[in-house]
Amino acid sequence: MESIGVLLACPMNSYLEQQLDKRFKLYRFWTVPDKSSFLASHKDSIQAVVGNAAAGADAELIEALPKLEIVASFSVGLDKIDLTKCKEKGIRVTNTPDVLTEDVADLAIGLMLAVLRKLCESDRYVRSGKWKRGDYVLTTKFTGKKVGIIGLGRIGMAIAKRAEAFSCPISYYSRTEKPEIKYKYYPSVVELAAHCDILVVACPLTKETHHIINREVINAMGPKGVLINIGRGPHVDEPELVSALVERRLGGAGLDVFENEPYVPEELFGLDNVVLLPHVGSGTVETRQAMADLVIGNLEAHFQKKPLLTPVV
């Protein structure tokens, strides 16, 4: 398979890069000085694209690669791939579901605890020597807080299971009600927001869910509400969120994703009721290895004409 051209959209994982380089003819898109010349010269040899949460395969790239057969994403999210165009052209698409579910759910709970109990702030308090001058402020109990989940897929369900162990009543919003689930369903995000203490974004990013957290939802959450985003930055109207946090119209936020990563609004840096993470949801050694193996496995299956492991299209 060493003659098969694979285009790696951006740096994402050394092990994956190394494995792709061993098995295929690997092109590192980010090292190319002139992307359009590169595409013009190599368009007939590239049969696969490997993308992730940061970069994938938009319509323009797909059009530029007439021999493209498969887009394998090193992520579960598909928002950087033009799925319609892929379907239209018969291009297969794979992602990395399941293997990262637990890590992302763990991080969501970690963010809830970190925001409500001000873990990072208190750690800073100790390291700065302030504890010698007085005790830290009282924070808010996590157990029993009402958790509202937007999107009750694999990750949403894993978050719910964990939160239940803390006696958190669970409610959710999704495109359709899931009658087999015992959690309380709300037919709109605003109603969900009005009836929970902690609102978690756990749905895919699509045109419909862009800015699903908007001013109305933030208002419904109120000054004690806490937003947790482990989805995609564009799920949230970021300027609205920032002003709500700065003006204390919202109680707090735990954010692993932002609209323009790696840029994070600096107005947030001075707040003690936010926890800001550099998109580490699936960022453990164990999980990234499993994700890489899934990408490689899908590519090999495709080029050996075997069934794909985790096809989306």
| Contact residues: a second copy, CB under 8 A | 102-103, 105-107, 109-111, 113-114, 117, 119-120, 122-127, 131-132, 135-136, 138-144, 161-162, 164-167, 261-264, 269, 275-280, 283-288
Contact 274, 242 (CB under 8 A): no
* Cβ at position 312, least distance to a second copy in Å: 24
Active-site entry in 17, 216, 261, 300? 261
- Any catalytic annotation for residue 215? no
In angstroms, the CA 313 to CA 174 distance is: 22
- Whether 210 is catalytic is no
Q: Is 73 exposed, middle or buried (0-12, 13-18, 19+ CB in 10 A)?
A: buried
Using CA atoms, how far apart are residues 119 and 122, in angstroms rounded to an integer? 5
**Phi-psi label, residue 34: left if phi above 0, alpha if psi -120 to 50, beta otherwise:** beta
Which entry of 162, 232, 235, 302 is annotated as an active-site residue? 232
Distance separating alpha carbons of residues 153 and 11, to the nearest angstrom: 28
Q: Write down the least CB distance from residue 127 to a second copy, Å.
A: 5
CB of 106 to a second copy, least distance (A): 5
* 119 vs 190, beta carbon nearer a second copy: 119
3-class state of residue 296 by DSSP: helix
In the complex with a second copy, the residue whose CB is nearer, 283 or 297, is: 283
**Distance (Å, rounded) from C-alpha 302 to C-alpha 279?**
30
Contact (Cβ atoms closer than 8 angstroms) between residue 295 and residue 302: no
Q: Could you confirm whether 267 is annotated as catalytic?
A: no
Closer Cβ to a second copy, 70 or 114, answer by number = 114
CB of 137 to a second copy, least distance (A): 8
C-beta closer to a second copy: residue 271 or 312:
271
> Which residues carry out catalysis?
232, 261, 279
